[in-house]
Structure 1
Amino acid sequence: MFPRETNLGHTQRLTIADFTLEAELAGGTADLHLSEAHRRFQANGGQADIHLRFHYGGMPDFPRDAPIFVSGGPWSLYRRDSRNHIVLALPDTGRPPYRLAELNSSFSSGNVYVRPLEEAFPEHYPPGRAQGPTAFDPFEYPLDELIMVNYLAQGRGVIFHALGLVDQGRGWLFVGVSGAGKSTMAALWKESGALLLSDDRIIVRPREGCFWMYGTPWHGDGGIGVPDGAPLERIFFLAQTPENRVQSLTIRETATRLLVCCFPPFYDPAGMAFTLELLGEIAEATPVAELGFVPDPGVVEFVRGAA
């Protein structure tokens, strides 16, 4: 879970969607390492847009009154005195949190506390076995994505459930919920010569008078995720049908479908208002269609012709 073979250090940086995230270890003997998916996004320097100080060992207390949001999975969000507290804990186990992030109101800086692995996951470290490794991944999912979702919602962008690719300089977004066919479509395009940005999560943000889309480390079944970006030229909503077809959509239909397939901060009124406005702008500015497709290589040329 925490390999030690390469990439060790007390500081690690990523660049995602042209934003730099910096993780700094606040003393101690532990090291930070990056997963294979994150190493593709590794940055060597530059000013950090998001700065996180990591503390390995002790875990401070956190607000235990009503949470702002409970995911139903491993994370919950609390807020106190304009500080955001993301609490990561294994659900339905009664165990204490294994990570706690205390972040400022804009999610751009804060402290992250990491419980020692032998305490957080004792089943992997029975009595008599050596203690857990002291190299850990600071950007381990879902914390990195949660911070980015909320950071983007401060007027910067949005994350979609989508396959993104660049074909002959044209940026296309294939949007769909789980099971819609993103991984299938990615596999069909793999030998096409197109640059695949991600097969599951794409960031879209305004830049230079248009919308740009970027790959992310949060890949799907195909393991595809690169840091490149490109101007967004067309959006396709995926549907699996008996034959290849495209069907135009209204701006209202597009905005509604985009909302279903994005990561909006429902618990943040200001962030939600920005996200809804941004989705409307994307829907109005971008050609959109529903793409019904057969899982066959012929869909590649069909899409090229339709676009």
Structure 2
Amino acid sequence: MVYTRYYEVAGMTMRCDSELPIRDNTFAEKFKLFEVSGPGEDNVHLVHRFGLPDMDRDLGRQVYCRSPWVIYQNGDQWVYVLETSPDPAEKQVRQISFVSADHTRAEIYNGGLIRQAYEKGGLGALTMAPTDQILLARLLADRGGCYLHSDGVDMDGRGFLFVGHSGAGKSTIARQLADKSEILCDDRMIVRKWDNGWRIHGNWSHGTMPVVSAGDAPLEAVFFLEKADENRIVPVESRMAAISMLLGCLIKPMVNVQWWEKMLSLVEDLARDVPCYRLRFDQSGGVGEVVRGSRFKVQG
């Protein structure tokens, strides 16, 4: 018997099949916000099996090796091996996934450690890996989208993206804006270009603040965070500067030339289409009103 649940994020519907029952607490509580009743227009299929396959089989050509992942390419198939430790003496395979060329189907074999976690419940990723970002970032690249180190908010129907690495103040901004907007996600946002413009999408891969939303909003402006003793919005000096800062905050899967080509084109379009600013902010909490009261336009 196969047990099935569906979850939707950024316009993609994830069908999750399992040989074991999927209980209400199998995945973390946050996934209830993303659960849907059935397939959508753009579907990704995850099949979970329990028990590892024969590891002596030919996995193909190794293309990536950085703990905890070893990745192979075998013809038109990708093979993702999740290991337990960077120490060769202690290495043990936790999971092996056979993934289609376009990453829309993954047959995932889970070892005993993951089965124990599955039975305990509260899993934080549909792939049952440490994060779903590796899969989603690959899927988004083919759909005009990406992950950025950023917070995203919906403020009265206006989408704002606050971009920066760890320590830039993303969680501070989220706390300051919590009573003025809907926080879509802390630290990791999905940005996607649609036929009618750019949108930011909430997702379940949050940072230190466990705040997520299944909502989305039209992207009105991008802000690069700078801690200061004032609240002030300053235009980014050039489009090339904006491109450089956006590229520096991309969340990357296992990258290859094709992925980078797509990202370079996507980020160039984002910097061209959406106004980009430096947001200097202090601890007063007044930055929300500064953003809300401003109107933005693309710089030349």
Which TM bucket (shorter chain)? 0.7 to 0.9
Task: Tell me if the contact between 2:150 and 2:186 (Cα under 8 Å) persists in the aligned partners.
Answer: yes
**Alignment gaps of 5+ in structure 2:** 296-300
Equivalent residue, structure 2, for 1:106 = 102
Describe the superposition over 1:223-243 as per-residue Cα deviations: whole angstroms up to 9, x where unpaired: 111111111110001111122
Give the Cα–Cα distance (whole angstroms) in 1 for the partners of residues 117 and 253 of structure 2. 35
RMSD: 2.3
TM-score, normalization by structure 1: 0.85
Describe the superposition over 1:241-298 as per-residue Cα deviations: whole angstroms up to 9, x where unpaired: 1222222111111111111111245632112101110000000000110111112211
Please state how far the C-alpha of 1:65 moved relative to its aligned partner: 6.8
Task: Tell me if the contact between 2:135 and 2:253 (Cα under 8 Å) persists in the aligned partners.
Answer: no
Do the aligned partners of residues 60 and 154 (structure 1) sit closer, same or farther apart at CA in structure 2, a change above 3 Å counting? farther
Give the Cα–Cα distance (whole angstroms) in 2 for the partners of residues 271 and 155 of structure 1. 12
Give the Cα–Cα distance (whole angstroms) in 1 for the partners of residues 128 and 169 of structure 2. 26
Verify: 1:69 aligned to 2:73, yes or no: no
Verify: 1:301 aligned to 2:294, yes or no: no
Give the Cα–Cα distance (whole angstroms) in 1 for the partners of residues 153 and 106 of structure 2. 33
Task: Tell me if the contact between 1:187 and 1:222 (Cα under 8 Å) persists in the aligned partners.
Answer: no
Equivalent residue, structure 1, for 2:14 = 21
Equivalent residue, structure 1, for 2:134 = 146
Equivalent residue, structure 1, for 2:227 = 240
SS, match of residue 289 in structure 1: strand
Verify: 1:226 aligned to 2:219, yes or no: no
Give the Cα–Cα distance (whole angstroms) in 1 for the partners of residues 119 and 80 of structure 2. 22
Verify: 1:90 aligned to 2:84, yes or no: yes
SS, match of residue 293 in structure 2: helix
Write out aligned runs for 1:147-296 (5 A): 147-192=135-180, 194-249=181-236, 250-265=238-253, 267-296=255-284
Please state how far the C-alpha of 1:107 moved relative to its aligned partner: 0.5
Do the aligned partners of residues 60 and 31 (structure 1) sit closer, same or farther apart at CA in structure 2, a change above 3 Å counting? farther
SS, match of residue 207 in structure 2: coil
Do the aligned partners of residues 76 and 37 (structure 1) sit closer, same or farther apart at CA in structure 2, a change above 3 Å counting? farther
SS, match of residue 68 in structure 1: strand
TM-score, normalization by structure 2: 0.87
Give the Cα–Cα distance (whole angstroms) in 1 for the partners of residues 131 and 160 of structure 2. 28
Q: Percent identity?
A: 26
Q: How many residues align?
A: 284
